[in-house]
Structure 1
C-alpha cells in the first residue's frame, strides 16, 4: 500500500504539521471539508485551440511560463483540505526535474502529498495524478485503471468500516468503452462504503456518469453544472466532484482561473454525524476564507 510522502521523503512527518482540530478518523472536527479538483496540464497555459499545436513543444521542453503558472496554482490551494490534481509531472526534463506534486504541496503548505505515476517516459515526462492533503487518512491506495496504460485512480479512506469516508481521485479515459470499464472498477472499490466522494477529470458529462454508467445505482449527486473545458470559453462540463447523498453540500464553485485548459472545481461539504462521533482534538484549525 502506498504511503504519504512529505518534505522529509517517504513516510509520515515526525514534527507537528498544519494546525487542525481532527477526529480520530483524520477528518475535521467541525465536520466541514473543502475539496478542489484541477487538471493543471503540467503547468502549461492554453488560450486557444491552436495553442495545442503551436505550444505542443511545452509538453516536452521546459519554459519560463510553467513556473509562473505553478505559482498561480499554488496561490489557489491554501483554503482547501484535500486537492486532486490531474496531468501533473513527477519530475522530468519538461518540468525542470521538479516534482510538481511535491512543489505544489510546499506552495500550499500541505503536510501530506502523494504522486501516482501513470505514464513513465523517463526523462521526457513523468505523467501523474497527485493528491495534496491537510488530513491524515487511515489508508491510501494506488489503482492503475483498466484499459491502455496511463490512467489511474487514488483512493483515500478516512475512518474504519462501512461508515468511513472514501475519496477517489481519478483521470478517466477519453473513449466511452474504456471509461465504462474504468468506472466499473471504481464502482467495485467504493461499493462497501456509505460515504463517497469521486473527484477528477472524468472526460464526460454528469448525466453520463449518473444515469448510464456503472455508477448509476449509487444515487450520487453532481452539484457542479458549470462548464470547465476549454478554460478560455467553457462549453463542456468534464471535471466533477460527485457526492453520495449522505454528504451535505454547502457550496460549489467553478473557479474563474484559466491557468490550464481546464478550470478547477471546488466544493465545501458537511459530514454526517456518524463521521463526527470520534472527536480527537489535536490542534486548532487555520483560518479559511469562504468560497465566493
Structure 2
C-alpha cells in the first residue's frame, strides 16, 4: 500500500486526505471503530459536539497511545453554541481528553439566527490561543463564506459540505478552490450508497479495478482533490474504505462519474437548517 496522501491547508497545516467519520456512532461503538481505524492506518478522526460521542473518541485516543502529533482530530461548534464558542470548545476538549484540536469547524451557518460572523470571530481567537490549530466551516454557501471573509479578513481553511456522486456541488467546490478553501465531503457515499453503488459506471469500475463500489467512490473523492471522511463502525468496512491507495481513476473515468450529478441533496438545506 502506498502512503496515504495529505493535503496542505492555506494556513500551512497539513491534514490526511482520508479520515474516519463517526456521525451516528455511540460512545461504545466509536471506541472499537477508532481502534480498528488506527490499526489499519487512519490518522484523521472527524467528530462533533452534536454527535454526542466525543467522550468515546477521547477514550479511544487515550487508549491508542499514539503520539499526539501523528493524529488529526476534528470537532465542530454546534448551532446552539455559536454565542459561546470558547466554552463549547473547552467542553469538547475535556471530553476528547486533548489540549487542542487540529481542526475546529462551525457546523452550520444558521443564517436565520445571524450569529455566524460573531462565532467565527470567537473561533479566530481560539486559533490564536492554540486551542484549535486550524479553523473552518461546514455547510456554508458562497454568500456565507464571502461575509466571513469580508467582515473578519480570515478565510476558513475548510468547507465541509454534503458531496457525493449524486450531489457534486461543482460550483461551490470551484469557488472554494478559488479562495484556497479546501472542500471536504461529508456523506461521501450518499448515506450507505443510496442510488450510487448500483450505477452502471460505478459497477463497471469496481469490476475493472477489482474493488468494491464504495472504494471506487472514495477514490473518486480523492482523485477529485477532496478531503473525504467515510463513516462506519464495522471493522471490515473501515478497513475496506482505507484500502484505496493502490489504484487511481483516470480523467475519462472521473468524467463518467461526473455525469451522475443530480444535485440530489440528502441532508438539510444550509440556507434554512437550524433557523
TM score, norm. by length of structure 1:
0.35
The structure richer in helix per residue is 2
The structure richer in strand per residue is 1
TM score, norm. by length of structure 2:
0.37
